[in-house]
Structure 1
Amino acid sequence: MPVPVSIGTQGGVALTRDSDAPPFVRWIAHVLALNTWDSTRCSLLQGLVGTIAVATDSDQQRALITAAGGHIHVGGGESQPPKATIVLSLDSREVSERVPSTGQQDVISVGEVLMQPPLPDWENLTDSFWTLTRQVRGLPALSLQETSSGCRIRLGEGPGAPYEVHGSARELSRFLAGMRFFPEAVYAGDLQIRGTFSQFSTVSGASLKVMFDV
């Protein structure tokens, strides 16, 4: 049986996940942890009781959220039938389908809300992103620019031009917080980049580190 690993305790909510969790389970645990930045979401987590399955719309990845008394555990097994199933699009990382069990509409409504945590402004996420990723081998300095306002923030120093990432405030926040995988946002046209393929690969690795706690 997998050993639980603590993700942290905040706002009266204790989060754990399986120690040998696959990437999708790790990411669901990360998304739930992002909710603890907000006091209203902490209240939702504290009141959540039962199990919610989270599945993907294009493959067999699946996570099981088990909640009771402010303790939330995310695993990959099916220890008990879930009260509801939420289906996520792997392209957008957003809810695409909801399948409540009979009489469990309230549970799935809470689960759906928790899959879209409120994020700080992207400018306030840059320090935490850089702290988590600055030791990634080969990571270049980054120049992040919000396309509407033109606001630009540089992370890191070094010779030569930084790797540029441009996007809306929402998409920059989702990338920096680990809500969306960097290449997915780039290929969808939600983030625009300027730099080398080697830099793109390294920034993609930094994105994985934030999303999956690796």
Structure 2
Amino acid sequence: MSGAVRIEVEADPTPLVLSLARVLRESAAVPELRDLLTGLTGTVALRSQLDAQAATLLFAEGGVDIHHGVDEGVEAIPLVPYSDYALAATPDELASAVQTLLNPPVPAWRDAASSFWAANHGSTGFPEGLRVVCQTEEEEIRFGEDAPAYEVHGPADALAAVFSGRGETFLFAIATGVTVVGSVAHLSAMCGAHWKVRFGV
């Protein structure tokens, strides 16, 4: 199939709707996942177990429409808390395919950090410089001005995850082994930057 895959959201989408759309766009960029997405037909509803958010995904004609809430007659599948995005066990084949689509490959930490910087540098409050240190590879990458630079240290998989918008918040990354060096004001800006990437806005 050529051309962009249709992934549409409602006019005033909730955070869950935005994050689902963002991750499906990532999957649409992977050839085998693109083929899976464009071949699906049917409806799946997902419900958060951490808050009141829910979303319905309607697959048809090679694309998907996503809106908040659960459509009448559809049984919502719970999202496993603190996961991106694991679904509660279900024998439903469509739901299994959706779970595959909601878990595309995570980019390499360098690529994720570069995209994170490109999406956020110049934003109000965002650090003028960023130093990312990968502890497992003993390598680092710098963006912007050398000083003052906000520093993010961690293992490769944790860096890749946080800079590509995985996890509920930037602070969640600290529980996965990421450490930061910088001001509280910049930490707040990094949290906002993470949400910008996570929600694809």
TM (norm. structure 1) is 0.83
Distance 1:10 1:129, change over 3 A: farther
Q: Does 1:95 align with 2:109?
A: no
> Which residue of 66, 73, 94 corresponds with 2:65?
73
Distance 1:10 1:33, change over 3 A: farther
Gaps of at least 5 residues in structure 1 are: 1-8
> Which residue of 160, 172, 189 corresponds with 1:184?
172
Aligned pair count reads: 199
Contact 1:63 1:77 in 2 (8 A): yes
Contact 1:87 1:98 in 2 (8 A): no
CA distance in 1, matches of 2:111, 2:67: 30
Between Structure 1 and Structure 2, the one with more strand by share is: 1
One-letter identity of the residue aligned with 1:115 = L
TM (norm. structure 2) is 0.88
Cα distance, 1:78 vs structure 2: 3.0
1:119 alignment partner in structure 2: 106
Distance 1:67 1:61, change over 3 A: same
| Structure 2 SS opposite 1:136 | coil
One-letter identity of the residue aligned with 1:95 = A
Sequence identity (%): 30
Cα distance, 1:86 vs structure 2: 4.6
| Structure 2 SS opposite 1:143 | strand
1:147 alignment partner in structure 2: 135
Distance 1:197 1:95, change over 3 A: same
Cα distance, 1:11 vs structure 2: 5.8
Cα distance, 1:170 vs structure 2: 1.8
CA distance in 2, matches of 1:11, 1:39: 12
Q: Does 1:51 align with 2:63?
A: no
Distance 1:198 1:10, change over 3 A: farther
One-letter identity of the residue aligned with 1:45 = L
Write the deviation string for residues 141-183 of structure 1: whole angstroms up to 9, x where unpaired: 11112111112111221533x1111122222122222122211
Contact 1:125 1:173 in 2 (8 A): yes
CA distance in 2, matches of 1:172, 1:11: 31
One-letter identity of the residue aligned with 1:148 = T
Contact 2:77 2:87 in 1 (8 A): no
Pairwise CA RMSD: 2.2
Gaps of at least 5 residues in structure 2 are: none
